[in-house]
Amino acid sequence: MDALRPTLWRMRVLPRTVLRESLALVGFYAAVYLGLILTGVATPLIKQGAPIGAVLAFLPEQAVLLGMVALPLAMVTAFLAAIGRMREDGELTALQAAGVGTWQVAKATLPVALVLALWIGLAAHLILPALTLRMFEGRSQLLRQALAAQVERRKPVFQQDQLVLAAHGAEEDRLLGLFGVQIDPQGGMAAVYAPEARWVVDPGDDDEAPALGLEMRSARMVVREAGTEPRIATAVLPNWSVRIPTARRNYSDKADALSTAELLRRIRTAPETNDREHRTMRGYERAWHTRLMLPVAVIAFWAFACGLGLAAGRGNRMLAVCIGVVTVVATLFPAMILAKEIGEGLRIGSAVWVWPPPLIIGALGGWLLWRHR
């Protein structure tokens, strides 16, 4: 019995030691990753002219939303760094020599993964939709403020291909003294001037998504046709709208901003009679499966990080950062990017894009844990 006391003491102390070191690293990496992500969000807005104070007020609430990516990333990096250090320093070998299995190290970090998975699972259904909607609306408001700043600096408010729009002033959603020029590749040109224009939502045709539009009042237009003998036409349009397909304003109807109950209702009842409705349905399915997948992905990350750390861990923290970033991005990229940009246009279900990466990562991690238990 006396011979077993050192081993029993180590088994009691080990979980606390590993958990303490892992939590410290999770907190450190979470702060670093979240800071970098928020900086990446704020920089383009400030560059476009949004007031710095408004951007800083916009970021704190978004930190909760972006933390759903930063925290799993921090957890993977922290576990890889902590277990890798123990392996490189020979602590795992010493534990095995004392009769303590390396599984105890992975088991000590499991509460962190379970708590994080529970939090992300609840947040994905209860908090994520509202935060996503406020993110879209807040970003839209910041871009409108940036638009006013661009007008004050005498810069174009919109520029794409051969189309340029500029204004002399801005008041809320109105542009004053709007002037636009468009030149086609054949050499034709169209110029328009409107004393006043305002931003509106263009619903689009059956095969088009809603987009941002400019409604011009009392517009004067001059059109020069291309050709060896160009003709010039003029017109006065009391009310004329121009569709700008680079922006979308109907944020409350986006799949990511809908509540889970509303998503389920639309998945069961929404029709799929044309291509637009088909893409919309794939979007609903993607959002639904992604919310279910996120807590499962956290457990998969835990298994992979602990298994890889026990199998081939290193004390190099930069290596842990690189592996952590690659692991999380490779798992979430198909669900958040590919399923949206490519999968919504295909006939296959969104689950094909969302579920394989976390299940593969989890299976690989489980095999590594079993092999080095």
Q: Residues of the chain with pLDDT > 70: what percent?
A: 80
Structure-token match 């957890």, residue found: 75
Element (H, E) at 225: none
- Asked which of 11-25, 226-240, 249-263, 290-304 is least confident by mean pLDDT, the reply is 226-240
- Asked which of 95-104, 136-145, 247-256 is least confident by mean pLDDT, the reply is 247-256
Highest mean pLDDT among 89-98, 125-134, 141-150, 182-191: 125-134
Give the whole-angstrom CA distance, residue 125 versus residue 119: 10
Burial of 215 (0-12, 13-18, 19+ CB in 10 A): middle
Give the whole-angstrom CA distance, residue 160 versus residue 151: 17
Higher per-residue confidence, 123 vs 232: 123
Q: Give residue 79's pLDDT band: very low, low, confident or very high (50, 70, 90).
A: very high
Task: Report the half-sphere exposure of 80 (CA within 13 A, side-chain side).
Answer: 27
The pLDDT value recorded for residue 64 is: 85
**pLDDT tens digit string along 147-186?**
666 665 666 666 666 677 777 777 766 778 887 787 776 7
User: Which pair of structure tokens corresponds to residue 64?
Assistant: 């909760």
Give the whole-angstrom CA distance, residue 215 versus residue 196: 9
Handedness of CA 245, 247, 251, 257 (dihedral sign): positive
pTM above 0.95, yes or no: no
Q: Give residue 248's pLDDT band: very low, low, confident or very high (50, 70, 90).
A: very low
Q: Give residue 7's pLDDT band: very low, low, confident or very high (50, 70, 90).
A: very low
The pLDDT value recorded for residue 171 is: 73
The pLDDT value recorded for residue 3 is: 42
**Looking at the predicted structure, is the pLDDT value of residue 11 above 70?**
no
